[in-house]
Amino acid sequence: MASANPRRPLLPLPLFLAAQTCSAVNSIDCNSNNTPIFDLSSPKYFQLSYQPKSNTSVAGASYYETGADAKTAASFWYIDFNDDIINSYQQCSLATGEFVSSGVDELISAGMPKPAKDTSLSVVLVGASEDHRIYYHDTDKNLQQILYNPSF
């Protein structure tokens, strides 16, 4: 049975940019109508529950939801200062163009090997199940996979 408010993945757009000079993740104007704009003169940052580690990878996916509660949202993964992998879910405020935290920032790598210092993160949405697979290399350079079903 179809959900009353299905989540649909958008085409891949560069919604995130790891800030090189501070421990933050920049975002685009989320109401920029399919034209990603990174305003470097007045950058916007995601509000996060866990502080991102500088110069580490960010991976993400964007969504739009249909129905009465239609919205645009972003879900992304980053490495924090404890070398844990965190998922953050943010919703777009069409009025301001800023992503607003939904309060759902979740540590998803508990019990997993720590990521290598120079690893990249990659995320794959797995079909209609809405499961995500997050891939990274651990400190021994082995490829690791986290199967994650978001709670949002």
**Angstrom distance (rounded) from CA 50 to CA 79:** 9
Tell me the per-residue pLDDT of 79-136, one tens digit each, with 9 for 90 and over. 999 999 999 988 888 888 788 888 878 999 999 999 999 999 999 887 666 688 999 9
> Which amino acid is it at 8?
R
Contacts of 126 (CB under 8 A, 6+ apart): 132, 133
Tell me the per-residue pLDDT of 62-81, one tens digit each, with 9 for 90 and over. 777 777 777 788 888 999 99
For the chain, the helix, strand and coil percentages under 3-state DSSP, each to the nearest 5: 0, 45, 55
Give the predicted TM-score (pTM) of the model: 0.78
> Which amino acid is it at 27?
S
pLDDT of residue 33: 67
**Angstrom distance (rounded) from CA 8 to CA 52:** 27
**Angstrom distance (rounded) from CA 19 to CA 111:** 28
Tokens 């992998």 belong to which residue?
85
Q: What backbone phi and psi angles, to 5 degrees, belong to 115?
A: -70, 150
Structure tokens at 77: 């993964």
Question: Where in the chain are the domains?
Answer: 7-112
